[in-house]
Amino acid sequence: MNTADLGLPVDVPSTALFTDQYELTMLQAALKAGTAERRSVFEVFTRRLPEGRRYGVVAGTGRVLDAVENFRFDAGVLRFLRERRILGEETLGWLAGYRFSGDIWGYPEGEVYFPGSPIMRVEGSFAECVLLETVILSILNHDSAIAAAASRMSSAAGDRPLIEMGARRTHELAAVAAARAAYVGGFASTSDLAAGFRYGIPTVGTSAHAFTLLHDRERDAFQAQVNTMGRGTTLLVDTYDVAEAVRTAVEVAGPELGAVRIDSGDLLLVAHRVRQQLDDLGATGTKIIVTSDLDEYAIASLAAAPVDAYGVGTQLVTGSGHPTSAMVYKLVARAESADPGAPLVPVAKKSTGGKVSVGGRKWAARRLDEYGVPEAEVIGTGPVPAGLADRQLLVELVKGGEVVAREPLDVPRERHIAARAGLPLSATQLSRGEAVIPTEYVTEG
């Protein structure tokens, strides 16, 4: 069974229209000019991290691979383009047979990145590469922003697990992608069933205030839930009076009660009071889960509280104030002609206003200091220095149009945990600061 069998809106038959119109009009002009088949190299990078952030997190790579495979101009898509008179028949005919046949390299999903890092490199003809710009940026900008916020939150949480609960705070499709990115960034589970179905992420959930309000007494609601879900369930205790609810919860479920959830009030104060009350009632193994508009700063402030897990929604799915990663997709090299053997020529935007880019097909490596801690993100063109040859960051993702680097979602999740742990200690500070390691450029010649 796949997602289409359930009617879940998490897959689409084609990603070809997840693009901006000017990608297609550039294609048409290039076809007419005879430049469309020039071998080209595009790179995805960001010129800066969000203000105060010390590292970024690559997320969405697996979704990019799916999007590239599904980038097809079927009859319905072509009919739409024809009826809107967006393209001429010659271009429509070219699109009918479109299949990306080039190569894609990139930082492996879950890896950290810095300003200038060539997060993804797309190589092929200008025509086939330019069409992928919008969909690649759409995925990487969103997912990397969510993963970066998730990483900061999971770092602040330490060993305490985090639950992604943001589905109701964003678009229904973005919610699925956000849950995936949060898992890469260190979250343990999600409340979103579509994300669990699509990506195998562990799902959790018990009840909301509405369930308590449905019943004549809070005790009746608790009893109904325990009867259905067992004594190990999580009971929501802040619908009315917290102390009374905790007492009732233990009376109903006994000391085997799995957890209580607190969703409002002064979480630090209430958590301490609830822990004391649970212990006094003999429910020493009952855990405390807190929710209520948490972000990394609120999570850090609860480090000394007797909290066992956190549920995070709004702040996570909005990137904790930074809902995009400001990534761009730029042509950095192209051949002088359509001859397959024509050499690549570096090209770069030279305008003022902070939007300058560096030309040339790049490699990236992370140089370590004498203690094995990263000290610089080294980016260059031409030969890779011998001392950095075994520290290169880009891996092959697509070869000759075929995906070669699919992996289970647990792999990028573990990769991120390891990558973050390997950074200088200041990387996980929540105070504002610059990128934790600098970017250095090494140019050919």
- Lowest-confidence region among 191-200, 254-263, 312-321, 356-365: 356-365
pLDDT at 432: 87
Determine the average pLDDT of the residues in 227-246.
98
Residue 415 — pLDDT band, cuts 50, 70, 90?
very high
Confidence of residue 354 (pLDDT cuts 50, 70, 90): low
| Predicted confidence (pLDDT) at residue 355 exceeds the cutoff of 90 | no
pLDDT tens readout for residues 189-208: 999 999 999 999 999 999 99
Asked if the model's pLDDT at residue 7 lies above 50, the reply is no
Q: E strands of 75-183, at which residues?
A: 103-106, 112-113, 120-125, 162-164
Q: What is the pLDDT of residue 194?
A: 95
Average pLDDT over the chain, rounded to whole? 94
**pLDDT grade for 350, boundaries at 50, 70 and 90:** confident
CATH architecture of 206-307: Alpha-Beta Barrel (3.20)
User: Which residues face 399 on adjacent strands?
Assistant: 402
Alpha-carbon separation of residue 283 from 130, 222, 243, 246, 363 (angstroms): 61, 16, 14, 10, 56
CA angle 91–94–95, rounded 5-degree value: 90
Residues in Cβ contact with 44 at an 8 Å cutoff, skipping those fewer than 6 apart: 106, 118, 119, 120, 121, 122, 136, 137, 140, 327, 328, 329
φ and ψ of 220, to 5 deg: -65, -40
12-146+322-442 maps to which CATH number? Answer: 3.20.140.10
Predicted confidence (pLDDT) per residue in 358-398, tens digit: 899 999 999 999 999 999 999 999 899 999 999 999 999 99
Strand partners, 104: 122, 398
Taking 80 as the threshold, does the pLDDT of residue 10 lie above it? no
Domain-wise residue ranges, the chain = 12-146+322-442, 206-307
Please enumerate in sequence order all residues whose Cβ is within 8 A of that of 244, keeping only pairs 6 or more positions apart, or say none: 218
In the chain, the percentage of residues whose pLDDT exceeds 70 is 96
301-327 average pLDDT score: 97
- The lowest-confidence range among 48-52, 154-158, 192-196 is 48-52
What confidence tens digit (pLDDT) does each residue in 159-175 have?
A: 999 999 999 999 999 99
Specify the pLDDT at position 353: 66
